Amino acid sequence: MNKFLLFFLIWVSSSALYAQHQQVDTVIFGGKKMIRIITEKGDTAYLDQLREVSVSSKQQFGSKDEYDRYMRYRRYAAIVYPYALEAMRIYHESNEATRSMTRRERKKYMKTLEKELEDQFEEPLKKLTRTQGLILTKMIEKELNEPFYDVIKGIKGTWTAFYYNTTGRFYGYHLKDGYVRGEDYIMDMVLDDYRLSVKK
């Protein structure tokens, strides 16, 4: 989508300015590096690559309660999205970093990483509501196409996965179930607008 929007902007600008003599240079505008085009008439256009956007059709709801839940989920998803992105980045990087390690080296690496992550994220994550935590979990499960239970099991072992699964049930999380499309269609609507893919 980024490339399409950039192409569209360039096409619109070049269509309007094509026949005119123009000056093209690079400037810093609003803290960002952009291409600046100045026509012989003095008109100025700035070209920039836009962030990726998600375009979806207008949602239909059966009741005001459903609409309210959708809006609440959207607000919560916006809050937890940065944590989900960071989690995916760390997950892929740690998988890559430990690929050629021995079991002992991997255990030591993961213990150090766990301590760093606790220092950085424990307090902010504690402040999330139950529903925000659920949306964060489902976001990651949807991206990995794997239940959170299996992710924990792969990283920390069966006993730890069992502990978190049992504890999670007190808060309404069923970590063995994973993300099941169609189970909560309002959750599906919201998560469809978020992409967690990161370059590995």
Q: What is the mean pLDDT of the chain?
A: 77
Q: Average the pLDDT over 105-120 and give the result.
A: 82
Q: Average the pLDDT over 134-145 and give the result.
A: 90
Quick: pLDDT tens for 53-73.
Answer: 555 556 778 899 999 999 999
Band (pLDDT 50/70/90 cuts) for residue 199 is very low
| Position 31, amino acid | G
Which residues does 158 contact at the CB level (< 8 Å), separation at least 6?
none
Q: Kindly report which listed range (36-50, 62-76, 171-185) carries the lowest average pLDDT score.
A: 36-50
DSSP 12-65: HHHHHHTTS-EEEEEEEETTEEEEEEEETT--EEEE-PPPP----PPP--SSHH
Q: What is the pLDDT of residue 197?
A: 65
Band (pLDDT 50/70/90 cuts) for residue 165 is confident
Read off the pTM. Answer: 0.66
Quote the CA–CA distance of 67 and 186 in Å, as a whole number: 9
Which residues does 96 contact at the CB level (< 8 Å), separation at least 6?
200
Ranges of H-type helices in 57-184: 64-97, 103-126, 130-144, 148-156, 158-169
Please determine, for residue 28, whether its predicted confidence score (pLDDT) is greater than 50. yes
| Position 44, amino acid | T
Quick: pLDDT tens for 61-106.
Answer: 889 999 999 999 999 999 999 988 888 888 888 888 888 888 888 8
Band (pLDDT 50/70/90 cuts) for residue 35 is low
Q: Average the pLDDT over 34-58 and give the result.
A: 60
